[in-house]
Amino acid sequence: MTFGVLSLAFSPFIVFSAISLFFFEGQFIKLASSIRGGGASTIIALLFALFVFRKSRGNYGTSSKLLHQIALGNFFLGEALFDIENLLYSSRVHDVSGKKHVFVAGLARAGTTILLRKLYENGKFTSLTYRDMPFILAPNMWRSISHFSRQNTGMQERAHGDGLEIDYDSPEALEEVFWRTFCGSDYIRQDCLIPMTADLKILDKFNSFIGLILKNDTDNCYLSKNNNNILRLNSIIKAFPNALIIIPFRDPLQQAFSLLKQHKRFMQKHSEDPFTKQYMAWLAHHEFGADHRPFLFDGKKDGKSDDRKDTQNLSYWLLLWMNTYSYLMENLPSQAVFLSYESLCEDTAFVWGKISEKIDLAPYTETIFFSKSYHPINESLPRDLILESQKIYKKLMAQSIGFNGKPQVGQ
């Protein structure tokens, strides 16, 4: 029995080696004989065995959690898988540096996910999906392996509890695995995330990564939703000069309230399920929850009063909103635009038309629908924060794509 399991476990290595002899001139064997390649090949074989023998116990059973731990918790393996992916597929990847890719980024809870969905439904874009987990850095190789045990589930409400449903084919913010693997130390700190500038070597890798994602969709552009990209806007534009960066925002009190609500929700989830906390850390999603790490743009700790540093207090999230969008207004590249979620909901046809002009999308249809939510704010807040946040909000509105000049909630 043991021999049979081991034989099956190492069969991917044998198969990939044989394929490389015929189609890749033996390059895979050359890489596999190296320290990094040998280690990666062994781990891939073991992972394949886990994949084959795993029991169906929901999305994250014991073996699935182990699969994620090995694939996402090991930088060595991530880099090795990316090297192998490039070796196997780079000759069939087209140059994508000049395409009109779209990057949706900003502070969380500004409608970024629903915007991603509507753009993705247009059919012009390709994005990473949950089906690419957990081998984000080897999308083509993983699709080839997982194809033999393809899973399908019905739509389920996502962990945020906000009514948005997902399945394996839903696009999601997964590309951060790339940045965390290759330059995580440049921007991830123990208690915060800071701006970073990627060097040319990293940008070349990122360009190759996007090319690999688009390998089977050569006519499409790449679509990203990744809030952490506000830390590297200039690097994104340097890699893809024709890209469009869309930065959504909401009324400050409403967005701060939503952030606080999600923070409380995920604090509870993380206390009940440590894997959820680790999963978000692997994706460098520190927007809220037990591993919350705020954006810190000036490199200095906030010297405000305790209530403004208490994550259970609405003032904290309102101040985070102010710091984030103040920074973005001062550091916005010419290829980036602000997008008011209120305007998008209230005047969808006009605002969507303006976005479409930027990226050559099909015209607006009645199926493109955005719903605005409004929550009464009962918590007492410092007057200076309210006034300053509204001042910033009005400036953002004036710069927002498709703004029609109508007053918004909170003005």
CA atoms within 13 A on the CB side of 74: 19
pLDDT in tens, 80-94: 889 989 988 988 899
pLDDT in tens, 282-311: 999 999 999 999 999 986 555 454 455 799
Q: Which residues pair with 244 in a beta bridge?
A: 102
Round to whole Å and give the CA distance between 228 and 192: 12
Which tokens belong to 49?
Answer: 């065995």
* The model's pTM: 0.84
pLDDT at 118 over 50: yes
pLDDT at 169 over 50: yes
Residues in the chain, overall count: 411
Q: Would you put residue 402 in left (φ > 0), alpha (ψ -120 to 50) or beta? A: left
Which tokens belong to 395?
Answer: 């400036």
Domain 99-128+171-399 CATH (choose: 1.10.10, 3.30.70, 3.40.109, 3.40.50) = 3.40.50
Residue type, 342: E
The mean predicted confidence, pLDDT, of the chain is 82
Closest CA to 308 of 300, 296, 317, 316: 316
Question: Is 71 or 338 the better-scoring residue by pLDDT?
Answer: 338
